[in-house]
Amino acid sequence: MSRMIKSISLFLACCVGSYVIILLILCNISYSNVAVIHYTNNYSVRIGGNTYHQFHNFDFNAPHDIIFLGASKAMKAYNPEIFNQSGLNTYNLGSHVQDPENSYEIVKHYLNSSNCKQIFYEITDGLYSQPLVPSTQSDIDLVTNTPGNGVAMDILFRNFDPKLINIYSIRELQLNPIAFQAEPAYKGLGFVGRLHSLSLLNRKELQTGKQRPTDNVVWDKQSISDLKALIELIKSKNIQLIGIYGPVSTYYSDKRTAQYVDYMRDIFNSYGCEFWDLSRLPGIEDKTHYSDLSHLNKAGADIFSDTIVKRIQQRNTTGREFR
């Protein structure tokens, strides 16, 4: 029996060793400046892009007045340059499909009361209600591109997905990885500001209501639980928190938006946190201030960011909280 166990153990060790050697070779041979390993599957991504430069350029030791967190809606709505012009030191750590579980990992490993006084957390339709937008791309993006091992390892242990294990192995086995550049719309400080407005197809969808989300919101219990865990973590780190429901196009009905706002306000207020409803902001128009049906373009983001700066100034002057 013991001989059989030794044989099986030896076989498994050989398999793992062979896997690592093959992976090491494929990770460090390039074709057209891309590691060959990326041609062997359809899920791994190259190191680099917006998220890589966003997180690797973030100064973890510098004090920030505000950090913006959330999914791509946050990444494309909060322009730190507008805030910084008013004397606030801010940075945007929003990323593609960043759900509250992954926001939790970012806060856990990167933020504390020394480098972050306050978090503005953007609520995104689809991350808290059915049908739920899958966070797979966010997991892959963060495992590939975040600095250190903390966030990546926590995502691996949480999911135990063979694909993510492969992706992490690829990241660690590349001896001299060269991160590819961020897209032209990346403006620095974590912000992505697209210049174009709605396409003709988007305008048609807006007019016809094609594939428009239903008016009745069905909440996802696990996502709501994850959001509450995130709020509790932020408060335990003595970081102030404000929840925000930023501008959404009229593709999302007033009824649906009101349900989101009311439900989220109750959650944030129950933890003693403010919640700002800026979903229908005067001056922001569908056709000119959105790059697609769900995201502001740079012109819209600048208006939105300036509005928040003025609200912060008003809040600081009057002491009035917005709930």
Where does the pLDDT of residue 317 fall: very low under 50, low under 70, confident under 90, or very high at 90 and above?
confident
- The rounded percent of the chain whose pLDDT value lies above 70 is 98
Mean pLDDT of 268-288: 95
pLDDT in tens, 108-164: 999 999 999 999 999 999 999 998 888 889 999 999 999 999 999 999 999 888 899
Residue 270 has pLDDT above 80, yes or no: yes
Where does the pLDDT of residue 1 fall: very low under 50, low under 70, confident under 90, or very high at 90 and above?
low
Residue 261 has pLDDT above 90, yes or no: yes
Where does the pLDDT of residue 249 fall: very low under 50, low under 70, confident under 90, or very high at 90 and above?
very high
The answer to whether residues 83 and 90 touch, using CB atoms and an 8 Å cutoff, is: yes
The answer to whether residues 271 and 235 touch, using CB atoms and an 8 Å cutoff, is: yes
- pLDDT for res 33: 82
Where does the pLDDT of residue 178 fall: very low under 50, low under 70, confident under 90, or very high at 90 and above?
confident
Start and end residues for every CATH 3.40.50.1110 domain found in the chain: 45-318
Q: Which CATH architecture has domain 45-318?
A: 3-Layer(aba) Sandwich (3.40)
pLDDT in tens, 181-228: 899 999 999 999 999 999 988 988 888 877 778 889 999 999 999 999
The answer to which of 77-86, 117-126, 172-181, 225-234 has the lowest mean pLDDT is 172-181
Kindly report the average pLDDT of the chain as a whole number.
Answer: 92
Q: In b/e form, how buried is each residue of 13-52, taking b as 16+ CB within 10 angstroms?
A: eeeeeeeeeebbebbeeeeeeebebbeeeeebbbbbbbbb
Record the pTM: 0.92
Alpha-carbon span 38 to 29, nearest angstrom: 11
- The rounded percent of the chain whose pLDDT value lies above 90 is 70
Mean pLDDT of 12-39: 85
Give me the phi and psi of 175, to 5 degrees please: -75, -40
Alpha-carbon span 296 to 193, nearest angstrom: 8
Mean pLDDT of 236-260: 96
Mean pLDDT of 4-13: 79
Whether omega for the bond prior to residue 131 falls within 30 degrees of 0, making it cis, is: yes
Residue 322 has pLDDT above 70, yes or no: no
- pLDDT for res 323: 64
Where does the pLDDT of residue 4 fall: very low under 50, low under 70, confident under 90, or very high at 90 and above?
confident
Q: Where are the alpha helices (DSSP H) in the chain?
A: 2-27, 50-56, 72-75, 80-85, 100-110, 136-145, 150-159, 162-173, 200-208, 221-236, 254-270, 286-289, 298-318
Mean pLDDT of 26-34: 85
Where does the pLDDT of residue 320 fall: very low under 50, low under 70, confident under 90, or very high at 90 and above?
low
- pLDDT for res 140: 94
